[in-house]
Amino acid sequence: MRISPKPWMTAPETRAVMEILNRDGDMARFVGGCVRSAVLDLPIADVDIATRYTPERVIEQLRDAGIRVIPTGLDHGTVTAVVNHEHFEITTLRLDVETDGRRAVVAFTEDWREDAARRDFTMNAMFLRPDGNLDDPFGGHGDALAGKVRFVGDPTTRIREDVLRILRFFRFHAYYGKGEVDPAGLKACHDNAGLIDCLSGERIRVEFLKLLSAPSPLPVLQLMVNAGVLPVFLPGPYDLEALLRLTSMDAGSPDPILRLAALAPERPGHAFRASSRMRFSNAEAARFHALSISELDPDAATARSEIYRLGNALFEDLVRLRVARGVLASADGEALIGVSRSWPKPDLPVRGADLVEMGLAAGPAVGEALRRLEAWWIARDFVPDRDACLAETRRIIAEDKT
């Protein structure tokens, strides 16, 4: 089978790498996501290359040609070539000789089929030669076009080699699946769902946030609930209706943390915390927690006060969540977001240093005076400028002295 060469295949940077690696014949082919995207005529994110050469030989050949090489994962046979700021991940053909569900001990091989046989799904087990000829040992071309996410070989075997493949199965169906999910794969995921506990939080987070970023993740999430997969790492209850409404609002700009807050917000007093299980960064955890617990007065009359209290970004996110949960009408939500977009949160025109310059001793008294000034300023809808605020500050200080 032959595929018409895509622009990324004929780009000078790509050709430079492939011509060096194929000087001795059929020694390097494209593999993985870029091949799947070529079959589906989709844009690509990265160019991955498989080769029969050992990583040491790859490094030697590329460096001799003046190409920068980064030894990104030598234990697993991976190096990265950099040409004009374009990165190419090059991995030696390999097979898994020992697995524990999280990582594998590998051995290098020169057999294309052996390498394809240890991959997860048929649509990821295709090799594409620079001239467009496709090597498809497990029917990935037909599966990709049909939207069928199917494990290579026995699904249970593939899952027990790397348990993350359970989440990848659902994520790939969310992006590429059409029609009914593969029954053999679904059963294997259900039967082995408990093994997800062995995975690190970081690996779960990366995979699950990608799934939540899919154009329409809801049907797949429902499958995960029914198969007993989602509750293993994200206990319910789930608000699937809220997520459905949110995805209809954020089409084209999916926000996985916001979607997670719609689906399963953190519950005060509940021992389980999704942000801890999935090892969110401090910033991600803080945002998710704020989205889960922050209150919002969805009233146009108090919009500016709420924006000032919460900040523009959190205010707009909370408005979206309330629309998604049916608490706020869509038109009212759009109006509130419009207020936020036209009114960036201002800063109080007076700072603590100004009060110290007025003779107030540094300490709790400064903080108390600032709080009173801020309340006065908010009550006047943030209109008073710096001069007016300084005058009010002097009045507050004088009042306290008397």
Residue indicated by tokens 């590998």: 106
Q: CA-to-CA distance for 14 and 24, rounded, in angstroms?
A: 17
Tokens of 374: 């801020």
Tokens of 357: 């310059």
Tokens of 241: 């209706």
Give the mean model confidence (pLDDT) for residues 341-360.
Answer: 92
Nearest by Cα to 149 from 127, 133, 165? 165
Q: Answer whether residue 60 shows pLDDT above 90.
A: yes
Q: CA-to-CA distance for 183 and 354, rounded, in angstroms?
A: 69
Delimit the domains of the chain by residue range.
1-146, 294-342, 352-401
Over residues 221-278, the pLDDT tens digits come to 999 999 999 999 999 899 999 999 999 988 778 999 999 999 999 887 777 889 999 9
Helix 165-176 vs helix 201-212: crossing angle, to nearest 10: 10
pLDDT at residue 101, rounded to an integer: 60
Over residues 159-181, the pLDDT tens digits come to 999 999 999 999 999 999 999 99
The CB density around residue 154, as the number of other CB atoms within 10 Å, is 11
Task: Report strand pairing: 28-31 vs 47-51.
Answer: antiparallel
Give the mean model confidence (pLDDT) for residues 344-350.
Answer: 95
Of the ranges 140-144, 293-297, 380-384, which one carries the lowest mean pLDDT score?
Answer: 293-297
- Look up the pTM and report it: 0.89
Which class for 147: exposed (0-12), middle (13-18), buried (19 or more C-beta within 10 A)? middle
Does the domain at 1-146 match CATH 3.30.460.10? Answer given as: yes
Residue indicated by tokens 């070529």: 38
Which class for 269: exposed (0-12), middle (13-18), buried (19 or more C-beta within 10 A)? exposed
Task: Report strand pairing: 86-92 vs 104-108.
Answer: unpaired
Do residues 46 and 33 make contact, with C-beta atoms less than 8 angstroms apart? yes
